[in-house]
Structure 1
Amino acid sequence: MTEPHLVGGAEAAADDSDDGDAAADPRGWALPRDVSVSDLGSLADPISEHNGQAIAVAPLIDHPGWLAKLYRPDQHPEDAHRLDLLISAPDALPAADRAALYAGTCWPAARIHDSGNPAVGCVIPIAPEEYRSELRRGTFSERRFVEIDWLAKSDESIRRIGLPRPGFEDRLAACRQLTELARILESLGLVYSDWSFSNAFWSPARRSVYLIDVDGCQPRKMPDIHQPNWADPLTPQGTDADTYTDRYRIGLLVAKCLTGRRDAHAFHTVAKSSWQNQPAVSEVLLDMLLATDRERRPSAAQLNQALNSGPYLRPAPRPTRTALPALPPTIVPHPLDPDPVKPVKPEPKPTTVPPNTSQGGWMLALLFALVLALIIVLNH
């Protein structure tokens, strides 16, 4: 298996350009690949603010279909060079891969500079409208981008928000495209690291996906930002993310989207599944997720090949695996017991109070005194 290499081809492409000018972008970007803030014209109100490395993402009024992504002022000094490499990287790809990258990602088209700051931000395309759907929550509905998070849920959960239930083929199509994009990035020697639910959109109608935030890609390695539920057990905290981290995370994302399960349930579902026409998928995923040697993890290209009904050409010897993670405790609701029969309290028996002998004597004495007094009165 050949090692991926970006930077030779991309750097050469960047050096061959004339002061940032390049052939017309096939997506319709008309300005050079290195533009000043004033070149962009007016910006509309931001559609996003203070999200990750960006302080704002705003539409370009004079260039419909494009956004200015403006970075925080504390970016690394090398960011200008890194952005130039990213912008030029597709030039080194075969035509089919270049078309797939442009169609499936918001790949940057230009670096934005200003006096004293060579990397104010970058120009990226607006995600296609086909990735928006009317999402229903009870009686309320809203048209918004559909995050790929929904593919990691059950068909019934997806149906409840107003989207069509995805069959296995729909899930498979989305995962094929995800891994195709991962394969292309890996072939360029780029680390994305951010494979997670919120960084890709899904179109149920077109059975396709669209990857965002790709302008953060870095060659070979990058800081590994902690993401809950996406931590690579073989990338120690405080070390950089690299190609092998990416392999774990794209494997985890595919496992969750393909099975509609989350957490350890996704691992267990993969382990017991034998998908028709994709016999190698389970083996590739389990080696990606459970290999004890991170460098023995299969590549994104191998996973993409398996998802396309190809063979898994595993290098010998077979990678050793850790055990499947423990499933979280399942709380099974018990049927409600019938109301217990309450014991009937017996009516209290009346208590018989024995006569008070002292009280009876006093009454007789009083009666005798009254009779005596009556007799005396009558005698007088």
Structure 2
Amino acid sequence: MGSSSSGTAMSVTPAELGRIGGQLGKGGEASVFDLPGLTYPDVPGPLVYKRYRAVHGSPDSLRRVVAARNKLDVVARGRLDSIAAWPVRVVEENGQAVGIVMPRIPGAYFDRVQRNAGVKQSLREVQNLFIDPARAVQVGRPAPTDEERLRVCRDFAGGLAFLHEELKVVFGDINAMNEVFRLDAEPMVMFLDCDAVRPNGVVAQVRQLDAPDWLPPEGGALTLATDHYKLGLFILRCLSPGTGSSVKTDPDAAAARLDTEGMAMLRRALGSNPADRPTAREWEVRLRRLLGESLVPPRLGEVRVDRTMVLSGQSVVVEWEALEADWVEVVAGSRSTRVDGGPGRGRTPVEPETSGRIRVRAGNNLGVDERELGPVRVVSPPGVHQLPIPMPQVHWPVLDVPGPPGLELLPLPRVDLPPEVPQLFTTGGNGVSWPAVPAPQGVGFPLDLQAMLTESPEVDLGYRDGEGAGR
């Protein structure tokens, strides 16, 4: 049994697989079984055993496929695991390859479809993108929108570009059943039967096939150019579903979905000149442009925070610059604020919980750029506390001083002086005098002001002389 240069084992025996579970699927070349008790530290998630119907002789070519994954760094390996059911171990017995161990296909790539025998769990193969959408819904398959179809084509091209550029392999058997799709997350396409891939320029140990209706015009060995031709067929058929779509080769059928440049690329892809066909990466870029997506990962420019100390409960403001960012996020501990990155610059407040560094993240569909600021110190505001102040008790003396003997108040003298009043007005030189004010001792209360001012007869208000004086 061998190990790759990373130290990870490449081969195992059937006995090392543990208990083999139920059969999950079968095809012309192999059957797939569950491995409920097997885990590997370098592979996330559950595993399955693909057991070949016929042994494949020397396991060297399969070991190369496994080693290609082991050579990747953690990020690239995660990318591969998200787009391909890639072999992670070769199962060997008596010096021959009898199968492979690979990750189990996630449940998001399955549908519950109506069969004659009832409802069945079935892989959502890309051939379901070619049938009439109304028919797809009838049998329990999704009917993607025009935009979702472009996104599936984008991820098909992007996944194939990764295999071509990062792993340097020819996929070979691109057809309607060797890829599955999903609509709820990205990447939206996963490649199957990856044990048949081969390094570019190397003959594959496992036979690479050409499915009917996917035959390149030049024939012969499968190459990067034949992968590019089959990619063009997939794009054409995905974007023009309906009767006869699975055998279409005329690029004009996709004219309603591609722009002028996209149609020119499709004609080159389906042409007879292998060297003129667009690469998978060129297709990914073209489809991203059609979808209005970013073409490069985001990049943060200048970022700064407006202060390095703040009272608890107050915010700091982060000024940022970002290129090709769909969004910008400012993170302080468990609190964060996310804003649109389209303007390219902005000022974003965030309220830190505790002292620490502020993270600024910019992202788009191709990645995330991140920067740290600070640290910012968070301090509590000063509290207000009442302090007890002791006060002395003062006992004031009580003075009991008698007044001077024989001191009596003198009575005030009575003065009866009529007040001087101005005359109201004059008539022909004769002034009109104010009415006489009754003597104080003859006045009763309440006063009859009307009688006093108009000289009208006095109105009896019910009082007797002198009654009002005492009231």
- Fold match, TM over 0.5? yes
- Tell me what 1:229 maps to: 213
- Tell me what 1:301 maps to: 281
Give me the whole-angstrom Cα distance separating, in 2, the residues matched to 1:137 and 1:112.
34
- Shift in Å, 1:15: 5.0
User: Are 1:212 and 2:187 matched, yes or no?
Assistant: no
Percent of residue pairs identical: 22
Give me the whole-angstrom Cα distance separating, in 2, the residues matched to 1:214 and 1:117.
21
SS in 2 for 1:182: helix
More helix by share: 1
| Paired residue total | 275
1:278-315 CA distances to partner (integer Å, 9 max, x unpaired)?
6532222221111x32122221111111111189xxxx
Which residue identity lines up with residue 258 of structure 1 in the other structure? Answer: L
- Tell me what 2:168 maps to: 189
- Tell me what 1:60 maps to: 35
What does 1:299-338 align with in structure 2 at a 5 Å threshold?
Answer: 299-309=279-289
- Tell me what 2:252 maps to: 268
Change (3 A) 1:135 1:254: same
Change (3 A) 1:74 1:136: closer
- Tell me what 2:104 maps to: 126
Which residue identity lines up with residue 303 of structure 1 in the other structure? Answer: W
Give me the whole-angstrom Cα distance separating, in 2, the residues matched to 1:287 and 1:66.
40
- Tell me what 2:78 maps to: 99
User: Are 1:150 and 2:118 matched, yes or no?
Assistant: no
User: Are 1:17 and 2:1 matched, yes or no?
Assistant: no
Question: Contact (CA 8 Å) 1:200, 1:210: kept in 2 or not?
Answer: yes
Point out which structure has higher relative CO (alpha carbons under 8 A, 6+ apart): 1
1:171-210 CA distances to partner (integer Å, 9 max, x unpaired)?
1121111111111121122122111111112223336222
Give me the whole-angstrom Cα distance separating, in 2, the residues matched to 1:215 and 1:67.
14
Out of 11, 16, 19, the residue aligned to residue 34 of structure 1 is 11
Which residue identity lines up with residue 174 of structure 1 in the other structure? Answer: V
Question: Contact (CA 8 Å) 2:173, 2:210: kept in 1 or not?
Answer: no
1:19-67 CA distances to partner (integer Å, 9 max, x unpaired)?
xxx2xxxxxxxxx432121111111232234x2432x321113127211
- Tell me what 1:85 maps to: 64
Q: Which TM-score applies when normalising by structure 2?
A: 0.53
Gaps of 5+ in 1: 1-13, 23-31, 312-380
Give me the whole-angstrom Cα distance separating, in 1, the residues matched to 2:64 and 2:153.
27
- Shift in Å, 1:106: 0.7
Question: Contact (CA 8 Å) 2:113, 2:119: kept in 1 or not?
Answer: yes
Change (3 A) 1:210 1:266: farther
- Higher CA-based Rg: 2
Gaps of 5+ in 2: 40-45, 293-471
- Tell me what 1:255 maps to: 236
SS in 2 for 1:180: helix
Out of 162, 165, 180, the residue aligned to residue 143 of structure 2 is 165
1:307-359 CA distances to partner (integer Å, 9 max, x unpaired)?
11189xxxxxxxxxxxxxxxxxxxxxxxxxxxxxxxxxxxxxxxxxxxxxxxx
- Shift in Å, 1:267: 2.4
- Shift in Å, 1:71: 2.2
Q: Which TM-score applies when normalising by structure 1?
A: 0.65
More strand by share: 2
